[in-house]
Amino acid sequence: MPFSRIIFLCLLLLNIISLAHATATREWTEKNLGDSGAGSYEGIMYSDRGRLSPGIKTEKKLYKDDVSFWTGAFDKSGELLAAGGTPPVVVRLNKEGIFVPLTLSSLSKEGKDANSSVTVLRAISGNRVVAGFSGNGIIAIKKSDKPDEFVLLCKLIVRGVWDLVEGENGFLYAATGPLGQVYRINLATGAFEVWAQLKDTNVRTLCWSKGRLLAGGGDSGNLYQIRGKDKVETLHHFDEESVQRIVEYKDSLVVAVNKLRVPADEKAEDGYKKYFKKLTDLPQGFGIDEKMPAPPDQMRSTTSNYASGAVYLIGKEYRIDRLAMLKNEHIMDAKVDGDGRIYLATGPSGRVYMVRANPDERELWTVQELEYINATAILMKDGSPRVFLASGHEAVAFMRNEKHGRSGSFKTKPYSPGRPARWGALSWRGSGVKVYTRNGHTPKPDNTWTKWIERTSGVAPESSKATSFAQIRIDMTGKGEFYGFSWRFAEKNQRPEIKTLTIGDRELAKGGAQRQITWEAGDPNSDKLEYRIAIKEESASMWQNVSGQLPLTELKFSLPVAQLPDGRYHLRLTASDAPSNFEAPLITSRTSQLFVINNGRPEILDMTFDPASGGLTAKVTDKLSVISELAIAVDGGEWRSISPVDGILDEKNEAVRIPLSGIATGQHTISIKAVNEAGGETVVQKSVALDKASVTAPIEELIVDDELPEEKAADEKHDASPSVPLTPGAPDKDIPGDQP
């Protein structure tokens, strides 16, 4: 044999063998590790594009149950203050890591402000902190000479204070509701005045930027600029109705907005006039229009009047870029760090997101999953986020932990291919990471699992036993990134499964009568399958292939019954996984119940007409199939069903006896049709002459007696009593009644 031919055959054999192994191998692939439920994250953030990166490690600090933190701030000494509650509460985190309540003096007497809450806490100049309240319009201040006590600064004629910002010349500005007013307060005296009236029910946020005051409307979607008392202009209108937060970053503005489930359909001034005529008529507890989100003390519910959130960047010359959109989540707070990373606290998922203040980088990262209903506030310190506040049924703060620098770990959920498998090479895309794997036989890893083994991308372990579960751990440090992985494994081959096998009725086709054979089949290994069909007569010992030389790939086959001898048959369907297992394919067969192939027709014998009785008789017979239909037609008219003598079509031989008494006298053509179960049909005609005697021959009549047995017995008794003859024209003396 020529050497070139030997080389060709060797290459062909190697190709076949490698193909067999490749098609028998499957892989566990995770291209998007940011999908919900992909695994557990510790100090890792993940993006909507499937990337992992070291994030922020936090330590949970709990205040107490049934209280919520809505806002917070760092004072000049660097200590954390957090506030919220219903009744209102402000706490300080001491050096021992314990929250200590601060004194609210006469602001919150026992039971008096049970429906109010601290909604905003801001650190301002002079080592002071101001707090705004919902429910009573109070603004309090903590001064440097009394570091653990808040005292009353002023009480505005509003129900809710939603934001506070320090301006110039010792003035504080307050965003309020439900009248859509912005107040200016003198920090030295507490004197206040309405600085601007906006076309909103609530003013949600304020921002002091380059000598101007910016405000966000709560139900108009308007971003306002206020350059002096009553000097208001609209900078931009957002389709989302509520402007939640405005943050200045370099020469741009970051604006977080929310879309309401029920958009406002009327102007604010028209809305509040329905409730009161003057400010002193403001009803107790009235803080938010019914179209607006619930007040803070009611926001622990998983429901929200917000439908979605978004964050925009307004650059120079008012170019508007939407950086991110959150479906079914609303934004509660937004902050920007020194590197232009925008952090978003959201609900009702309790997540903290991050997106860069750069229109060219719109990748949305999930920084933290706080496992609470709402992430309520992001507190910045030294230009970076240090604390995330959350609410649920606890007051909790997540403190940033930087003891180990930027590092984190991600564990996938235990993965099972469905049955034991041998695990091979693991490949991934990323940098600055270490990847580990372990295997076991239990759904939850325990001490029976293997220890974590560090892996090299694209290299198989030295030895691998078949296991039912596998797990991957990814450790990251510094600026590491991870994009996804593919871990190949080979299961022990399993037999195909034939779930159903159906043989259809006989039907006529172009090539003759046929039966449609259909089935359902699958393979536990998801292998490709091929099929063959064979039949044999009931008494035969050999199967006859009827599906052809090439195997079938579809789940149906037309059995050409017209080409097969009549008889009773079994059909056998065989499924094979040979397309995916060249070396050692497995097969499964399923045999049908007996069915009849009958290409013949019924016979109608001894068709006879008796002129005396007017009746027509015949015998109908079939060799293999039960007679399924009998019908009669007169003079080529419509076919009308008839019954055999015994009244039921259930045998291969049936007798017919039909009276023709309802047909007019004269010469007629009578047709009888018989059909067997296989669909074979026979029609026989006979000419008959009907005379008057035949037409009027008596017909047996079926009488149905609906009378009850008791009534029938009484009638019979009455009929048996002696009768009294009645004289015509005279009354019966034995029958009572009126006499003439």
15 vs 600, residue with greater confidence: 600
pLDDT band at 293 (very low <50, low <70, confident <90, very high): very low
- pLDDT tens digit sequence for 43-102: 899 998 888 999 888 999 999 877 889 999 998 888 999 998 878 889 999 988 899 998
pLDDT band at 35 (very low <50, low <70, confident <90, very high): low
Half-sphere exposure of 75 (CA within 13 A, CB side): 23
pLDDT at 469: 95
Is the pLDDT at 344 greater than 80, yes or no?
A: yes
Say if CB 334 and CB 311 are below 8 A apart: yes
Helix and strand totals (H; E) in the chain: 4, 51
pLDDT band at 739 (very low <50, low <70, confident <90, very high): very low
Q: Where are the beta strands (DSSP E) in 637-737?
A: 640-641, 653-659, 666-676, 681-690
pLDDT at 492: 79
pLDDT at 24: 60
Is the pLDDT at 292 greater than 50, yes or no?
A: no
Q: Are strands 544-545 and 530-537 parallel, antiparallel or unpaired?
A: antiparallel
406 vs 522, residue with greater confidence: 522
pLDDT band at 304 (very low <50, low <70, confident <90, very high): low
- Which of 170-179, 364-373, 501-510 is least confident? 501-510
Give CA separation, 427 vs 33, 51, 436, 486, 538, in Å: 15, 15, 12, 5, 57
Q: Give pTM, 2 decimals.
A: 0.66
Give me the mean pLDDT over the 9-22 stretch: 36
Distance of CA 247 to the CA centre of its chain: 36
pLDDT band at 660 (very low <50, low <70, confident <90, very high): confident
pLDDT band at 693 (very low <50, low <70, confident <90, very high): low
Give me the mean pLDDT over the 417-446 stretch: 92
Q: What share of the chain is helix, strand, coil (3-state, %, to 5)?
A: 10, 50, 40
Give me the mean pLDDT over the 261-269 stretch: 52
The whole-chain average pLDDT of the chain stands at: 82
Quote the tokens at residue 595: 């069915």
pLDDT band at 18 (very low <50, low <70, confident <90, very high): very low
Say if CB 661 and CB 693 are below 8 A apart: no
- pLDDT tens digit sequence for 87-102: 888 999 998 889 999 8
pLDDT at 596: 87
Indicate the DSSP class of residue 642.
-
pLDDT at 5: 44
- pLDDT tens digit sequence for 93-127: 998 889 999 888 666 554 345 568 899 999 999 98
Give me the mean pLDDT over the 9-36 stretch: 54
Closest CA to 60 of 309, 295, 522, 370: 370
What whole-number percentage of the chain has pLDDT above 70? 82
pLDDT at 299: 43
User: Phi and psi at residue 20, in whole multiples of 5°?
Assistant: -60, -45
Give me the mean pLDDT over the 390-394 stretch: 83
Q: What is the Cα–Cα distance from 42 to 25, expressed in whole angstroms?
A: 32
Specify whether the backbone of 229 is left (phi greater than 0), alpha (psi in -120 to 50) or beta.
beta
Beta-carbon contacts of 522 under 8 Å, excluding residues fewer than 6 positions away, are 496, 497, 499, 529
Q: What is the Cα–Cα distance from 219 to 180, expressed in whole angstroms?
A: 10
- Which of 303-317, 476-490, 690-704 is least confident? 690-704
- Which of 474-488, 516-530, 623-637, 683-697 is least confident? 683-697
pLDDT band at 387 (very low <50, low <70, confident <90, very high): very high
13 vs 552, residue with greater confidence: 552
591 vs 294, residue with greater confidence: 591
pLDDT band at 581 (very low <50, low <70, confident <90, very high): confident
pLDDT at 8: 35
Give CA separation, 18 vs 9, 24, 576, 582, 685, in Å: 14, 10, 20, 10, 71
- Which of 63-72, 244-253, 355-364 is least confident? 63-72
Is the pLDDT at 139 greater than 90, yes or no?
A: yes
Q: What is the Cα–Cα distance from 417 to 28, expressed in whole angstroms?
A: 8
pLDDT at 695: 60
pLDDT band at 31 (very low <50, low <70, confident <90, very high): low
- pLDDT tens digit sequence for 441-499: 999 999 999 999 999 998 888 777 889 999 999 999 888 999 889 999 988 788 999 99
